[in-house]
Amino acid sequence: MESQSREREFLSPHASFSGDTMGRLHPEPEHHLRTPFQRDRDRLIHSTAFRRLEYKTQVFVNHEGDYYRTRLTHTLEVVQVARSLARFLRLNEDLAEAMALAHDLGHTPFGHSVEEVLDEWMSDSGGFEHNAQGLRCVDLLETPYPDFSGLNLTYEVRSIFTKKASMSELTRKGYASPKSTRFVSGPARPILEAQVVDLADGIAYNSHDIDDGIKSGLLTPEVLSEASLWKEIWKHARGADESAKRHAAVRELINRQVTDAAEETERRLHSGPPSPAPKPREGEYPPLASLERVVDFSAPMKQAESELKALLRTKLYRHPQVTRKMDRARRMVRDLLEMYFAHPEQMAAQFRARVDHEPVKRVVSDYVAGMTDRFAEDEHLAFFFPGALVARPR
């Protein structure tokens, strides 16, 4: 295939080549126009779980304003940063893009606070973790094909969900297709495109949470200047007004982090013999977080980024206005979990059909985790405050 030949010609020896893919759960003939990773990207874009990201909270609840990021806009920003890094490093941009599109599919409505509620509620049934739930989405819950469940993505793209647990562990816990045991063997070195996406995720959310936080009035540039990196950037930012200056500063923050990561990673890759592209070999493929970090910031930037994250945690994510809304979301989701568990017939038809042959808690967890913010709010109003429900267009 011409596109695979171009990969061999232009990509680094460190890249993952689509012609070397470890394959799919269900064998498929190759497409003459698209590589396996390009096909995965397209499947993800057309998936139901991807569309739902538009109405899932990043930090600010979707209806608070059209300006603020959602899981979908966050994902698109991660794609942009990941592709930029992958291009500079001559890694596989198509693989990085597909991984970036997939990385947040398992997130609950209303953000991380609701994930904690689901994990607590599922503590006697395997727990809940959004990376693992993302794998469950693409392997089991999406059903666009008549002959099997899932999107039938390549192993490499699916590996983005193994951030905290190995593929075989996720399979044992019921997050992945039972056929995943075919792929418990894996590469000795990490798939570098996965590390690109992981780093791009952090760059994107640090930057856009600052942007949204200042826009909302919960943060000020002066408060953020407690972090040395932002203080330096804000000092030199130029703009006709505060809004233009904020945009300039956020752009510079992204640029500095991407440039630092690209240069530091290139230095690491050139400091020793080339690493082979990931290929199967005997042994368990461990969680991504446990593998050697190749794509990363320099030590000074890592320190500056940690300082910025800590400041966002205390000044934005724990701001009383944010925590108050998250407390409300947690109570709402607890109500829904208990209600559906007691009355599973109230779930959508495709979930009701699973109750007879799957644990009810896991089915309820899948149903609630897949909800958008507004659907969860509508369901809560319908069951607990029926007189208050205002129909909205779907």
Would 176 be classed as within a structural domain?
yes
pLDDT at 49: 97
DSSP 155-176: HHHHGGG-SSS-HHHHHHTTSS
Spatial separation of the C-alpha atoms in residues 328 and 156, rounded to whole Å: 38
336/213 same-domain check:
no
Would 141 be classed as within a structural domain?
yes
160/290 same-domain check:
yes
- Contacts for 205-209: CB closer than 8 Å, 24+ residues apart: 205/58, 205/74, 206/253, 206/257, 206/305, 206/308, 206/309, 206/312, 207/77, 207/250, 207/253, 207/254, 207/257, 208/58, 208/69, 208/73, 208/74, 208/77, 208/250, 209/58, 209/59, 209/69, 209/312, 209/316
Element (H, E) at 192: helix 192-216
pLDDT at 240: 82
332/311 same-domain check:
no
Domain closes at, from 264, 290, 321: 321
Would 222 be classed as within a structural domain?
yes
362/250 same-domain check:
no
Say which DSSP state 177 is in. -
365/244 same-domain check:
no
Spatial separation of the C-alpha atoms in residues 226 and 308, rounded to whole Å: 9
Would 177 be classed as within a structural domain?
yes
Residue 244 vs residues 19, 56, 213, 239: alpha-carbon distances, Å: 45, 28, 15, 5
200/102 same-domain check:
yes
- The candidate with the shortest Cα–Cα distance to 100, out of 123, 129, 134, is 134
248/276 same-domain check:
yes
209/161 same-domain check:
yes
Would 351 be classed as within a structural domain?
yes
54/116 same-domain check:
yes
368/278 same-domain check:
no
244/104 same-domain check:
yes
What residues are paired with 24 via a beta bridge? 154
Give the SS3 label for residue 279: coil
Domain closes at, from 306, 321, 336: 321
Host domain of residue 373: 328-388
The amino acid sitting at 264 is E
pLDDT at 394: 46
Domain closes at, from 321, 338, 372: 321
Q: Is 90 exposed, middle or buried (0-12, 13-18, 19+ CB in 10 A)?
A: middle
Residue 48 vs residues 15, 45, 98, 215, 363: alpha-carbon distances, Å: 30, 9, 15, 30, 17
In CATH, what number is assigned to the domain containing residue 85?
Answer: 1.10.3210.10
Would 394 be classed as within a structural domain?
no
The count of domains in the chain is: 2
Would 393 be classed as within a structural domain?
no
Residue 118 vs residues 61, 153, 176, 234, 361: alpha-carbon distances, Å: 18, 26, 18, 39, 10
User: The tokens 């368990």 sit on which residue?
Assistant: 284
pLDDT tens string for the chain (394 positions)?
677 788 888 999 999 999 999 889 899 998 988 999 999 999 999 999 999 999 998 776 555 556 688 999 999 999 999 999 999 999 999 999 999 999 999 999 998 889 999 999 999 988 999 999 999 999 999 999 998 999 999 989 999 998 888 777 888 888 887 776 555 444 446 789 999 999 999 999 999 999 999 999 999 999 999 999 999 999 999 988 889 999 999 999 999 999 999 999 999 998 865 555 455 444 455 677 767 789 999 999 999 999 999 999 999 999 999 999 999 999 999 999 999 999 999 999 999 999 999 999 999 999 999 999 999 999 999 999 887 655 555 4
pLDDT at 58: 77
pLDDT at 283: 43
292/270 same-domain check:
yes
pTM for the model stands at 0.92
Would 114 be classed as within a structural domain?
yes
Spatial separation of the C-alpha atoms in residues 200 and 261, rounded to whole Å: 10
